[in-house]
Amino acid sequence: MAENLVLGTAQFGMPYGIANKNGQPDQDMVTTIVHEAWGNGIREFDTAQGYGTSEQVLGDAILKLGLTEDVRVISKFDPNLDHLNINDMSNALNESLERVGVSYIYGMMLHREEMLSLWDKGLSKILHGFVASGKVKNIGVSVYSPEKAVQALNIEGIDMVQLPTNVLDRRFEEAGVFQLADKKRKKIYIRSAFLQGLILMDVDEIPEKMFFVKPIIEKLESISSDLKLSRQELALRYIKTEMPQAKVVIGVDTPKQIKENIKGWNKQFNSSLAQKVKKLFNNVDEKILNPTLWQN
């Protein structure tokens, strides 16, 4: 089953991911992808006001497929909004609701961890007003650092935290973030399970400016081969084994990729293999883990 998988939709609204060869899918393709995801048990869809036309395109697919009443949409406020201006925030939320075509947003997140500094300055009151109105079910935040994840999980009124984790990037795991979330009964949403597609790239397709990642990708390919798993299967099964309570956001460009991800998710993988992976990929350089550093 795929109940812990969430379909990421950044690529529906803009070109996204280093390994994306297909570009931005058109509306018919998006509708087909959403249909395939729904048919395979995926009920949550992750978008954002800052993902180009993603909300609108996702909303059109949801409407066409008749999923408006049952779908769970997670979105994020545009980080450029004045987060302490209730009118700006309210208008932005209403626009998201209209674009996606649902009566409420299942999870509305702050798109940047820096916004947590505004929590006690009026932002908390604004966001909880949205919950009280019935327009939002859960409040969350997207973070980049383990410190901010811990801070967010300790804030009363934040229900969900989205963060990057994958077979190479175990900073949040080592900081005890997942155990804290379980203790607080809060939901973690993992993004970058494939590190924007880098984990799945063929070594000979890695751009010249990123040759520094080649050794780690070759190492990943080697262990995958030894375990008789694809790198996709290895990446998904590691997360499922080590963070069983977390939801995992996956982005796809084609319906076929949905099936491949679900097949990988359901592949057998035991904790002894997970321990082997941990030893092999210990303290990976942040230059590899942080896509914002790839340009340099």
pLDDT for 16: 56
For residues 43-59, one letter each, b for 16 or more C-beta atoms within 10 angstroms of the residue's C-beta and e for the rest, the string is: bbbbbbbbbbbbbbbbb
Q: What is the 3-state secondary structure (H, E, C) of 146-175?
A: HHHHHHHHCCCCCCEEEEECCCCCCHHHHC
pLDDT for 227: 86
Residue pair 37/70 in contact by the 8 Å Cβ criterion: no
pLDDT in tens, 74-100: 999 999 999 999 999 999 999 999 999
pLDDT in tens, 204-263: 999 888 999 999 999 999 999 988 889 999 999 999 999 999 999 999 999 999 999 998
Backbone phi, then psi, for 198, in 5-degree steps? -60, -40
pLDDT for 22: 59
Provide the token pair at 275.
Answer: 């321990």
Using only the alpha carbons of the chain, give its radius of gyration: 19
Contacting residues for 261 by C-beta, under 8 A, at least 6 apart? 5, 232, 236, 250, 252
The residue segments making up the domain with residue 195 are 5-293
pTM: 0.94
Contacting residues for 250 by C-beta, under 8 A, at least 6 apart? 5, 6, 7, 8, 193, 194, 261
- 47 SS3 class: coil
pLDDT for 19: 53
- The tally of domains found in the chain comes to 1
Residue with tokens 């340009």: 295
What CATH number is given to the structural domain containing 254?
A: 3.20.20.100
Question: What distance in Å separates the CA atoms of residue 283 and residue 278, rounded to the nearest whole number?
Answer: 10
Low-confidence ranges of the chain (pLDDT < 50): 20
